[in-house]
């Protein structure tokens, strides 16, 4: 009996130096670009409205991904089945317009590092959504992990400078995490019939079309935008949105989903570091403690899938 393709590819990555170099390079680019996106969002939304920035990122990402497709070996794009259109549209709305507007609104106030940690709770919300929609039953370990993660989240959104004070902007970032979790649950159903590239591309285009009413405001705001904002918009459209998704699909082919997902725990520390180096936003002690609590809770929930 032949080995599964993923096992063969994993063995290749361990033996072939060139394959290993390609895999490591892809992982590094994905982690840096996704962590850097939180910094870029924080810069851009100081001059652009959340909806305008969402259109720039989603629309720019859709165009960039189309431009990259000829260079993707074996890339195929099939038209979706008519019966799947409502589910694909729901996936697209949650992943792009709702998620992007929510996180952009939150990051007008919330720091890039804290935002990255709140988004890291996405698997927690995905687990809870699956409980109610797919009737999945979390284990005791998962419930403990969920409780620990929510404790960390509560500290992140309420403790500021040694005192308790709810940060309303953080709730928008949590809304983005919930929307992203809904996207994950729906996408899981669709991956049985479509590949990740197809779902990403259709999602980006549907999301861009939904955001088109904000095109006039985007054009008006970009006329007076600084070079830092222009650079941030180009960065998030090309690197984390287009190239990032393509490289992540490659990483998932070379690694098991559990191993690949565990790499994402590195994103918040990188985001904190980049924000400190680029914008001077140093994390507070409570931010670090709360972030560690959140990541520990998420890791506990994810550990069941690796077991």
Give the angle subtended at the CA of 305 by the CAs of 157 and 300, to the nearest 5°: 40
187-193 contact pairs (CB < 8 A, 24+): 187/91, 187/95, 189/87, 190/84, 190/87, 190/88, 190/91, 193/81, 193/84
Global pTM reads 0.88
For residue 160, the SS3 value is strand
Q: Provide the token pair at 120.
A: 């890291």
Domain residue extents for the chain: 5-306
Q: Which residues contact 5 (CB under 8 A, 6 or more apart)?
A: none
Distance, CA of 120 to CA of 111 (rounded, Å): 14
Report the SS3 class of residue 164.
strand
Alpha-carbon distance of 145 to 80, in angstroms, equals 37
Q: Treating both helix axes as pointing N-terminal to C-terminal, what angle do 112-119 and 285-306 enclose, rounded to 10 degrees?
A: 20
Sign of CA dihedral 229, 230, 233, 235: negative
Query: pLDDT in tens for each of the 307 residues of the chain?
Result: 434 444 444 544 454 787 788 888 999 999 999 999 999 999 999 999 999 999 999 999 999 999 998 887 777 788 899 999 999 999 999 999 999 999 999 999 999 999 999 999 988 998 898 888 877 888 888 899 999 999 999 988 886 665 666 778 999 999 999 999 999 889 888 888 888 888 889 999 999 999 999 999 999 999 999 999 999 999 999 999 999 888 887 887 787 766 777 788 899 999 999 999 999 998 888 889 999 999 999 988 887 655 4
């Amino acid at each position: 009996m032949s080995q599964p393709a993923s096992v063969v590819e994993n063995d290749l990555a361990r033996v072939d130096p060139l394959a290993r170099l390609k895999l490591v390079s892809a992982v590094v680019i994905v982690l840096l670009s996704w962590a850097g996106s939180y910094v870029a969002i924080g810069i851009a939304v100081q001059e652009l409205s959340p909806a305008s920035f969402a259109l720039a990122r989603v629309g720019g990402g859709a165009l960039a991904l189309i431009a990259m497709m000829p260079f993707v070996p074996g890339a195929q794009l099939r038209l979706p089945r008519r019966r799947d259109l409502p589910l694909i549209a729901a996936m697209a709305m949650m992943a792009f317009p709702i998620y992007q507007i929510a996180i952009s609104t939150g990051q007008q106030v919330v720091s890039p590092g804290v935002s990255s940690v709140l988004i890291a709770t996405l698997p927690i919300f995905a687990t809870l959504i699956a409980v109610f929609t797919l009737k999945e039953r979390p284990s005791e370990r998962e419930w403990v992990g969920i409780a620990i993660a929510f404790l960390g989240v509560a500290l992140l959104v309420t403790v500021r400078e040694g005192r308790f004070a709810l940060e309303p902007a953080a709730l928008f970032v949590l809304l983005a995490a919930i929307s992203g979790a809904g996207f994950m649950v729906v996408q899981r159903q669709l991956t049985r019939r479509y590949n990740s590239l197809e779902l990403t591309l259709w999602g980006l285009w549907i999301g861009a079309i939904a955001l088109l009413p904000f095109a006039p405001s985007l054009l008006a705001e970009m006329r007076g935008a600084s070079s830092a904002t222009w650079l941030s918009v180009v960065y998030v459209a090309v690197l984390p949105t287009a190239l990032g998704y393509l490289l992540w699909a490659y990483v998932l082919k070379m690694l098991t989903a559990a191993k690949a997902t565990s790499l994402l725990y590195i994103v918040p520390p990188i985001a904190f570091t980049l924000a400190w180096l680029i914008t001077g936003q140093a994390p507070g002690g409570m931010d670090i403690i709360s972030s560690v609590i959140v990541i520990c809770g998420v890791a506990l929930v994810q550990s069941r899938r690796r077991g």
